[in-house]
């Protein structure tokens, strides 16, 4: 499951890190330590660039940063609000689901994150946990994206571009926190994952790089992250569990389909 994450880097840093062109057009969200469903997020995609007539160049691929809404709205959806239930997609079944299968084949993305949150059950409550890497490199969450036009709206209005995080069974030390986790991509897999011409990614969906998992820090943090109204670097600061940070209200723990 992935219902909240932190993304604090600006587009310039992300463009350099992912060898991408910044195509956010100044619309990228500010540093966000409590990214929640339906918020705008930055994603990395790779597409064939188009000429002045809109024709794609099959000989070239360009990697770029785009702004998307978290919560995938399939192209065939009648209403945008469907996306609120589509923040996650299970890696083992997404290719079979009508909402995700075309995106698995042709519209894959990377969602850069500094870390993600999960809630570990402790007795009758839950302890907020922050999973992050050992250095400054972003975690690359495997994602899917889609475009949607309101069937009852202005036909000339720009489409909504939205995304979902792929999730898998938790592995290694993460099984102590939750039974699900985001699918993390190693840098060596970025090009294959983003390749718009690669339609079979079953091997990339199959699992994680063990080195990525073992290097993660599982950090207890404040229950302030439970509320989407709270934001700021204090949310990712280590807070040693005392019992006072436990929260028993499951309504605060986000929502997910995977």
C-alpha to C-alpha distance for 75 and 149, rounded to whole angstroms: 7
pLDDT score recorded for residue 256? 45
- Is 2 considered catalytic here? yes
Q: State residue 163's pLDDT score.
A: 98
| pLDDT tens series, the chain, 258 aa | 689 999 999 999 999 999 999 999 999 999 999 999 999 999 999 999 877 777 777 778 899 999 999 999 999 999 999 999 999 999 999 999 999 999 999 999 999 999 999 999 888 889 999 999 999 999 999 999 999 999 888 888 899 999 999 999 999 999 999 999 999 999 999 999 999 999 999 999 988 889 999 999 999 999 999 999 999 999 999 998 776 556 544 444 444 446
Contact 71, 84 (CB under 8 A): yes
C-alpha 109/C-alpha 164 separation (Å) is 9
Rg (CA), the chain: 18
Give the strand pairing for 160-169 and 88-90. Answer: parallel
For the chain, the structural domain boundaries read: 5-117+139-208
For residue 194, the tally of other CB atoms under 10 A from its CB is 20
What's this model's pTM, rounded to 2 decimal places?
A: 0.92
What is the second-level CATH architecture of the domain 5-117+139-208?
Alpha-Beta Complex (3.90)
pLDDT at position 235: 98
Task: Return the pLDDT at 225.
Answer: 96
* pLDDT recorded at residue 156: 83
One-character DSSP codes across 30-68: PPEEEE-TTSEEEEEEEE--B-TTS-B-TT--EEEEEEE
Q: Please provide the size of the chain in residues.
A: 258
Helix (H) or strand (E) run with residue 193 in it: helix 190-194
Distances, alpha carbon 103 to alpha carbons 165, 181, 199, in Å = 12, 20, 10
Is residue 163 annotated as a catalytic residue, yes or no?
A: no
104-141 burial, b at 16+ Cβ within 10 Å, e below that, comes to beebbbbbbbbbbbbbbeeeeebbbbbbbbeeeebbbb
Catalytic residue among 17, 52, 62, 118: 118
Place of tokens 């972003």: 138
């Amino acid at each position: 499951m992935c219902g909240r994450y932190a993304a604090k880097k600006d587009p310039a840093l992300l463009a350099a890190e992912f060898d991408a062109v910044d195509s956010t057009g100044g619309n990228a969200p500010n540093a966000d330590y409590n990214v929640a469903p339906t918020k705008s997020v930055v994603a990395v995609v790779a597409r064939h660039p188009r000429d002045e007539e809109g024709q794609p160049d099959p000989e070239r691929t360009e990697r770029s940063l785009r702004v998307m809404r978290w919560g995938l709205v399939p192209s065939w959806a009648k209403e945008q609000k469907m996306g609120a239930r589509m923040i996650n997609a299970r890696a083992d079944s997404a290719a079979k689901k009508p909402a995700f299968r075309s995106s698995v084949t042709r519209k894959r993305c990377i969602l850069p994150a500094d870390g993600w949150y999960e809630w570990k059950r402790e007795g009758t409550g839950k302890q907020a946990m922050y999973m992050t890497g050992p250095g400054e490199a972003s975690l690359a969450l495997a994602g899917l994206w889609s475009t949607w036009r309101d069937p009852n709206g202005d036909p000339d209005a720009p489409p909504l571009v939205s995304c979902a995080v792929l999730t898998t069974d938790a592995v290694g030390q993460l099984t102590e926190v939750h039974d699900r986790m985001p699918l993390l991509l190693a840098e060596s897999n970025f090009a294959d994952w983003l390749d718009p011409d690669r339609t079979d990614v079953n091997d990339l969906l199959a699992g994680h790089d063990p080195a990525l998992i073992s290097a993660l820090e599982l950090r207890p943090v404040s229950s302030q992250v439970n509320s989407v109204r709270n934001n700021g670097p204090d949310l990712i600061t280590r807070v040693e569990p005392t019992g006072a940070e436990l929260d028993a209200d499951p309504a605060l723990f986000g929502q997910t389909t995977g």
